[in-house]
């Protein structure tokens, strides 16, 4: 993290990788940097155009400055053939023998949803079937397909952890957030199912429920200024959640201290969610 000396490296991370979906920004970017500082190489998946490529280079160069490898792929994570190609390329990159059990962490931190009302005065502005399905596909179901791809290739092993980013929208109404709320509820359900199915292999799966955090995705929500001000007012810590708060939580849970934590939603919000 930015304000302190580097954290001690985690011996169990030595030579291993973290696959981060959404590695170029927000929670994914901060977690990529922190897990690299703890000793993991980073396989980052992101979707950026020229305007935001500088962020990608900044994350990569911070990872490399820790001495770890950064391997980034700029693709739509919801595309089946691009996902399979990226995973096959990763196996080729690390070598088939070393790829087995190479992923210590799989993190899902994709923000790509439609922010429209379901109904309202202007039918032209309603949520369409395509909007709803695309939001659920990217923000929830892609977690299952990436996990299947990793399991099929033997990339996860006993001790590996899956993390998916959820929000209080998974259980509450936020204006314009109907599709993303549905995706969060589905994502939390997928995490429970994966924890059940992967537990016998010693692989954990948890959702991280972050508080309201000032990131590019949050800035796209209509009325985000109000959301940010209200969250800061309500939060018992008197401040917003930061991407680094989440990165620290994931670093701790992915390490030996998290070895029996699975199938749950872990709040990382300073208690914001429990304050009415």
Ligand X SMILES: NC(=O)c1ccc[n+]([C@@H]2O[C@H](COP(=O)([O-])OP(=O)(O)OC[C@H]3O[C@@H](n4cnc5c(N)ncnc54)[C@H](O)[C@@H]3O)[C@@H](O)[C@H]2O)c1
CB neighbours of residue 96 within 10 Å: 10
Q: Which of 35, 139, 179, 266 binds ligand X (CB under 6 A)?
A: 139
Among 18, 40, 63, 210, binds ligand X (CB under 6 A): 210
**Rounded CA separation 179/76 (Å):** 19
Instruction: Kindly tell me which of 12 and 232 has the beta carbon lying closer to ligand X.
Output: 232
Residue 78 binding ligand X, by CB under 6 A: yes
Residue placing its CB nearer to ligand X in the complex, 46 or 116: 46
Contact 71, 36 (CB under 8 A): no
Question: With CB under 6 A, what is the number of residues at the site for ligand X?
Answer: 29
Residue reference for tokens 């911070």: 62
Handedness of CA 265, 269, 274, 276 (dihedral sign): negative
**Minimum distance, C-beta of residue 87 to ligand X, in the bound complex (Å):** 14
Tell me the closest approach of the beta carbon of residue 253 to ligand X, in angstroms.
16
Q: How far is the CB of 258 from ligand X (least distance, A)?
A: 19
Rule CB under 6 A: say whether 212 interacts with ligand X. yes
174 lies in the binding site for ligand X (CB under 6 A): no
Q: Which of 41, 66, 147, 167 binds ligand X (CB under 6 A)?
A: 167
Task: Report the residue from 38, 87, 140, 217 that binds ligand X according to the rule CB under 6 A.
Answer: 217
For residue 70 the two structure tokens come to: 């950064």
Three-class SS of residue 70?
Answer: strand
Token pair in block for residue 79: 């595309």
Q: Minimum distance from CB of 264 to ligand X (Å)?
A: 16
Q: Which stretch binds ligand X (CB under 6 A): 25-33, 94-102, 119-127, 148-156?
A: 25-33
The tokens 């490529």 sit on which residue?
Answer: 53
Contact 177, 131 (CB under 8 A): no
Tell me which stretch binds ligand X (CB under 6 A): 26-34, 63-71, 127-135, 197-205.
26-34
Q: CA 190 to CA 156: how far, in whole Å?
A: 17
The stretch among 3-11, 76-84, 192-200, 256-264 that binds ligand X (CB under 6 A) is 76-84
| Least Cβ distance, residue 226 to ligand X (angstroms) | 13
The reply to whether 45 sits near ligand X by the rule CB under 6 A is yes
Distances (CA, A) of 234 to 142, 155, 220, 228: 33, 41, 21, 10
Q: Is position 38 an interface residue for ligand X (rule: CB under 6 A)?
A: no
- Tell me 11's DSSP state: G
- Name the residue with the smallest CB distance to ligand X: 26
Q: How far is the CB of 199 from ligand X (least distance, A)?
A: 24
Collapse the DSSP code of 101 into the 3-class scheme (helix H, G, I; strand E, B; otherwise coil) and give the result: coil
Report in angstroms how near the CB of residue 245 gets to ligand X at its nearest: 11
Q: Is the dihedral of CA 99, 105, 106, 112 positive or negative?
A: negative
**Local structure of 137: helix, strand or coil:** helix
């Amino acid at each position: 993290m930015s304000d302190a000396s580097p954290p001690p490296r985690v011996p169990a991370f030595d030579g291993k990788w973290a696959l981060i979906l959404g590695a170029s920004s927000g929670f994914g970017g901060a977690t990529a940097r922190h897990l690299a500082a703890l000793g993991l190489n980073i396989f980052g998946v992101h979707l950026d155009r020229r305007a935001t490529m500088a962020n990608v280079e900044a994350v990569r160069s911070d990872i490399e400055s820790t001495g770890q490898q950064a391997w980034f792929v700029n693709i739509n994570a919801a595309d089946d053939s691009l996902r399979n190609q990226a995973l096959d390329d990763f196996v080729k990159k690390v070598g088939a023998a070393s790829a087995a059990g190479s992923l210590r962490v799989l993190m899902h931190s994709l923000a790509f949803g439609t922010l429209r009302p379901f109904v309202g005065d202007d039918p032209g502005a309603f949520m369409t079937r395509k909007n709803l399905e695309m939001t659920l596909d990217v923000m929830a179901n892609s977690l299952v397909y990436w996990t299947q791809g990793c399991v099929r290739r033997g990339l996860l092993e006993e001790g590996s952890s899956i993390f998916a980013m959820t929000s209080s929208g998974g259980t509450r109404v936020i204006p314009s957030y109907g599709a993303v709320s549905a995706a969060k509820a589905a994502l939390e359900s997928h995490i429970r199912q994966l924890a059940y199915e992967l537990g016998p292999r010693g692989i954990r799966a948890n959702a991280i429920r972050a508080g309201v955090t000032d990131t590019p995705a949050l800035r796209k929500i209509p009325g985000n200024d109000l959301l940010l001000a209200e969250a800061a007012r309500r939060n018992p810590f008197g401040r917003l959640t930061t991407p680094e708060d989440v990165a620290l939580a994931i670093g701790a849970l992915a390490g030996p201290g998290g070895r029996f934590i699975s199938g749950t939603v872990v709040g990382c919000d300073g208690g914001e969610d429990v304050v009415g």
